[in-house]
């Protein structure tokens, strides 16, 4: 593995300059002048410098303190920078340095005989070092802004060194443009493989302010090129690394409310305002115009390490919850997301728009998707018992099994914490509020009962699951606003015959409305999956509808608008009834047994239409 490290400036000279500057400051700016007290004409006691023969008088005690401090600092061993540490640790035989330095300190010898010497470098050293790295003669490369300008260090297909680049970004600083340009040196076209980026930061929380600026700029770059190639911030930074995103702004406003209510341990409202100089309140309480995220992050840099940890921990917790909620709701923009399955086949392609000027077409593709099921084995399910808080459950109504484990809590809008649990099933898992478990049919079971319920369900899981996708591909911008706005992700996939497709995924309800035809013919399995996805309502003959409902924190397939006369027949088909809020409701099983229930229903009551469900 190639290791690549980037330092914005050579550090050896910086360390020397910093030491000289500090000693020079002490020698010339340390307060050593003698002062004497005096009383002015109004009787106020004050002080003034002592002067003799027009020359200031030096305080001997202050001068002794200055000299002692200079001696102490001068006696401390020098601290090498990251650049020198890497060169001295791995040696010049392994490290290629492209920094433009004419001299450097290197280590000669091994063990007790090792010594540091000054190494002079020729003006052409940068070219020779670059060639040594690209020819795979040296495994590690260090480059700076000065030395890296105009050069490329990616895994070029024409170079001998096509190893994976692991690019460490040291000291990103405030200049996001410079950092982005440096990252681009190892990620270019015609490369064997993309690099692995590793931004380096200390445990000082406020230092994330610098990485956040770079993450925001990369996300902006990714937004420009999104839909064409995966670039920008995709995969380089996590969503929570961008501290200037809309989710971060929402999390900050929630943090202000928590500080105002006194819910942040270790930081009261008065302590926050005194430490940051920010005012959160007025005569009416919490201000409407609160300090923006950039101001908050800048003020965070001036706080003590302990105060930074308190505030940033609370802020990160809120930010993680905002992002997790957006991802679960399906509204978080992940950019170009690659779909993967065992098989993709285009079964139908229709032109739905042709640009009048260029003649470019927009196609609606119907794609058959085949995915391999990877159910959780019984042994893996029982392994969860290593967690002391895990429980084995069996549903007294359906006879299905699940493993209950703790889940991350959710903070509600009023600031209260909602404990949650995760129910793990053979093919999926769901997170529910802990308080509703007492109202469900899930009961704790021993290993024998759990095994007896889990094993048959595991045996029923088919090897593959087939479904249908609808992708709008081709020219998208002219009709972008006509596409569904509930999901704006851009997907990419490759079919079995090698065709690459990039486009927006749309629901069958939107397809039926766009084509202005009768609803497509769906199998019971397709209807089951379609309704359980929660974005489409299936209309049936006799005025009935199938849609997804959430009851006691669990998603269910509900049949509504049925008549009293059809109730008994529907229950005979396999629908089960529950009386909720004194109203009879019918539900179809969400497990694979529900497919056979829908087969019997659709044999008598055909599908008449689809429509998108309002979020």
Residue pLDDT, tens place only, 205-257: 777 766 766 666 665 554 333 333 343 444 455 556 667 778 888 888 889 99
612 and 535 Cβ atoms separated by less than 8 Å: yes
Q: Is 324 in the same domain as 389? A: no
Percent of the chain whose predicted confidence (pLDDT) is above 70: 84
Q: At 599, is the secondary structure helix, strand, or coil?
A: helix
Closest residue by Cα to residue 151 from 124, 117, 102, 185: 185
Q: Strands 442-444 and 429-433, how do they pair?
A: unpaired
413's tokens: 């809008």
153 and 282: one domain?
Answer: no
Q: What is the pLDDT of residue 27?
A: 87
Q: Which pLDDT does position 440 carry in this prediction?
A: 83
The sign one gets for the Cα dihedral 209, 211, 217, 220 is negative
Report how far residue 405's alpha carbon sits from residue 385's, in angstroms, rounded to the nearest whole number: 9
| Residue 353 to residue 475: CA distance in whole angstroms | 8
Give the C-alpha separation, 392 to 404, whole Å: 6
What is the Cα–Cα distance from 166 to 197, expressed in whole angstroms? 6
Cβ-based burial of 344 (10 A; exposed 0-12, middle 13-18, buried ≥19): buried
Of 460, 477, 506, the domain-final residue = 460
Say which DSSP state 202 is in.
Answer: -
Do 390 and 307 belong together in one domain? no
Phi, psi torsion values for 559, nearest 5 degrees: -105, 120
Rounded (10°) CA dihedral 125, 126, 132, 133: 150
Report, as an integer, the average pLDDT of 171-185: 71
Tell me how far apart the alpha carbons of residues 320 and 239 are, in angstroms, rounded to a whole number: 9
Classify residue 412: in a domain, yes or no: yes
Is residue 187 scored above 70 in pLDDT?
yes
Given 460, 495, 527, the domain boundary residue is 460
Whether residues 50 and 116 share a domain: the answer is yes
- For residues 449 and 400, give the distance between their C-alpha atoms in angstroms, rounded to a whole number: 10
**Strands 196-199, 165-170: pairing kind:** parallel
Burial class (CB in 10 A: 0-12, 13-18, 19+), 98: buried
- Please check whether residue 354 lies inside any domain of the structure: no
Q: How confident is the model at residue 452 (pLDDT cuts 50, 70, 90)?
A: very high
Q: Which residues contact 398 (CB under 8 A, 6 or more apart)?
A: 441, 589, 591
Per-residue confidence at 169, pLDDT binned at 50, 70, 90? confident
Please state the domain count of the chain.
Answer: 4
pLDDT over 90 percentage in the chain: 16
Select from 200, 188, 84 the least CA-distant residue to 134.
188
In this structure, the chain runs to a length of 615
Shared domain check, 434 and 568 = no
In this structure, is residue 212 part of a structural domain? no
Residue 184 falls inside a structural domain: yes
pLDDT at site 352: 87
Residue 187 domain boundaries: 1-199
Q: Ramachandran region of residue 241, left (φ > 0), alpha (ψ -120 to 50) or beta?
A: alpha
- Name the pLDDT band for 559 (thresholds 50, 70, 90): very high
Quick one: how far is CA 413 from the chain centroid? 22
**How many CA atoms lie less than 13 Å away from 392 in the CB half-sphere?**
20
CB 323 within 8 A of CB 315: no
**Residue linked to tokens 């942040």:** 264
Angle between helices 305-329 and 293-300 (to 10 degrees): 150
Same domain? For 55 and 161 the reply is yes
CB 73 within 8 A of CB 37: no
Structure confidence at residue 148 (pLDDT): 57
Mean pLDDT calculated for residue range 579-607: 87
* Residue closest to 13 by CA, chosen among 92, 98, 89, 101: 101
DSSP letter string, 34-81: -EEEEE-TTS-EEEEE-EETTEEPBPHHHHHHHHHHHHHHHHSPP---
Q: In terms of C-beta distances under 8 Å and separation of at least 24 residues, what long-range contacts does 424-430 make, across chains too?
A: 424/376, 424/381, 424/384, 425/376, 425/400, 425/401, 426/375, 426/376, 426/381, 426/454, 426/457, 426/458, 426/461, 427/373, 427/375, 427/376, 427/461, 430/553, 430/554, 430/555
pLDDT in tens, 401-417: 999 998 877 766 666 77
Clarify whether residues 159 and 10 are in a common domain.
Answer: yes
- Same domain flag for 286 and 385: no
Largest CA distance in the chain: 117
* pLDDT exceeds cutoff 90 at 335: no
Question: What pLDDT sits at residue 392?
Answer: 93
Q: How confident is the model over 569-575, as a mean pLDDT?
A: 90
Judgement on whether residues 54 and 128 belong to the same structural domain of the protein? yes
Measured between alpha carbons, how far is 593 from 59 in angstroms, rounded to an integer?
Answer: 93
pLDDT in tens, 5-46: 443 334 444 555 666 778 888 888 899 999 999 888 888 888
CB-count burial class (<10 Å; 0-12, 13-18, 19+) for 503: buried
Q: Helix-strand-coil percent breakdown of the chain, rounded to 5?
A: 35, 30, 35
Which of 483, 520, 225 lies closest to 353, judged by CA? Answer: 483
Tell me if 228 is assigned to some domain. Answer: no
Pair 126, 247 in one domain: no
User: Kindly report the CA angle at 604 between 601 and 607, in degrees rounded to 5?
Assistant: 75
pLDDT, tens digit, 9 for 90 and up, residues 354-363? 888 888 889 9
Q: Are 32 and 171 part of one and the same domain?
A: yes
> Token pair for residue 356?
């009048």
Helix/strand number for the chain, H first, E second: 17, 30
User: What mean pLDDT value characterizes the chain?
Assistant: 81
Domain boundary among 140, 172, 199: 199
Residues 305 and 398 in one domain: no
- Within-domain flag for 484: no
Q: What is the pLDDT confidence band of residue 159, given thresholds at 50, 70 and 90? A: very high
Asked if the structure places residue 45 within a domain, the reply is yes
CB-CB contact of 551 with 590 (8 Å): no
Domain-embedded: residue 424 = yes
């Amino acid at each position: 593995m190639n290791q690549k490290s980037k330092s914005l400036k050579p550090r050896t000279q910086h360390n020397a300059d910093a030491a000289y500057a500090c000693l020079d400051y002490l020698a010339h700016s340390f307060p050593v002048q003698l002062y004497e007290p005096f009383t002015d004409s109004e009787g106020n006691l004050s002080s003034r410098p002592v002067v003799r023969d027009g020359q200031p008088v030096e305080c001997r005690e202050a001068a002794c303190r200055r000299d002692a401090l200079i001696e102490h600092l001068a006696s401390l061993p020098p601290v090498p920078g990251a650049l020198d540490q890497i060169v001295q640790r791995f040696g010049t035989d392994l490290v290629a340095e492209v920094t433009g330095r004419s001299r450097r300190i290197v280590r000669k010898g091994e063990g007790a005989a090792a010594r540091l010497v000054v190494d002079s470098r020729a003006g052409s050293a940068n070219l020779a070092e670059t060639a040594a790295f690209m020819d795979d003669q040296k495994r590690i490369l260090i480059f700076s802004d000065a030395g890296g300008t105009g050069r490329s260090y990616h895994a070029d297909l024409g170079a001998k060194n096509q190893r994976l680049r692991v690019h460490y970004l040291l000291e990103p600083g405030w200049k996001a443009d410079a950092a982005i340009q440096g990252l681009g040196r190892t990620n270019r076209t015609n490369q064997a493989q993309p690099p692995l980026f590793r931004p380096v930061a200390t445990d000082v929380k406020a230092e994330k302010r610098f990485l956040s600026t770079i993450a925001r700029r990369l996300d902006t770059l990714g937004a420009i090129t999104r839909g064409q190639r995966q670039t920008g911030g995709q995969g380089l930074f996590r969503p929570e690394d961008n501290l200037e995103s809309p989710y971060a702004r929402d999390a900050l406003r929630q943090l202000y409310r928590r500080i105002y209510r006194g819910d942040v341990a270790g930081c009261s409202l008065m302590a926050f305002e005194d430490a940051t100089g920010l005012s959160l309140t007025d005569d009416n309480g919490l201000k409407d115009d609160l300090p923006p995220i950039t101001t908050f992050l800048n003020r965070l840099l001036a706080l003590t390490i302990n105060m930074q940890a308190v505030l940033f921990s609370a802020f990160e917790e809120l930010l993680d919850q905002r992002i997790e909620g957006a991802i679960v709701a399906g509204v978080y923009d992940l950019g170009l997301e690659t779909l993967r399955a065992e098989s993709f086949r285009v079964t139908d392609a229709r032109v739905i728009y042709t640009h009048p000027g260029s003649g470019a077409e927009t196609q609606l593709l119907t794609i058959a998707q085949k995915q391999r099921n990877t159910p959780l084995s019984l042994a893996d399910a029982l392994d969860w018992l290593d967690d002391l808080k895990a429980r084995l459950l069996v549903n007294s109504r359906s006879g299905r099994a699940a493993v209950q484990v703790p889940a991350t809590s959710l903070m509600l809008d009023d600031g209260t914490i909602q404990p949650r649990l995760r129910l793990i099933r053979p093919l999926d898992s769901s997170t529910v509020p802990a308080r509703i478990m007492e109202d469900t049919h899930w009961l704790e079971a021993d290993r024998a009962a759990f095994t007896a319920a889990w094993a048959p369900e595991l045996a029923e899981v088919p090897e593959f699951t087939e479904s249908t996708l609808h992708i709008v591909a081709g020219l998208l911008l002219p009709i972008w606003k006509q596409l569904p706005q509930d999901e704006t992700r851009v997907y990419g996939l490759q079919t079995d015959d090698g065709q690459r497709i990039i486009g927006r995924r749309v629901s069958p309800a939107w397809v039926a409305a766009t084509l202005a035809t009768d609803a497509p013919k769906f199998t019971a399995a397709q209807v089951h999956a379609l309704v359980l996805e929660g974005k489409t309502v299936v209309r049936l003959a006799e005025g009935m509808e199938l849609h997804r409902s959430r009851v006691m924190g669990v998603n269910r397939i509900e049949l509504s608008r049925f008549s009293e006369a059809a109730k008994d027949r529907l229950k005979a088909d396999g629908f089960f009834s529950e009386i909720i809020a004194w109203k009879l409701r019918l539900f179809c099983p969400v497990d694979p047994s529900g497919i056979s229930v829908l087969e019997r229903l659709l044999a008598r009551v055909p599908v008449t239409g689809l429509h998108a469900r309002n979020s």
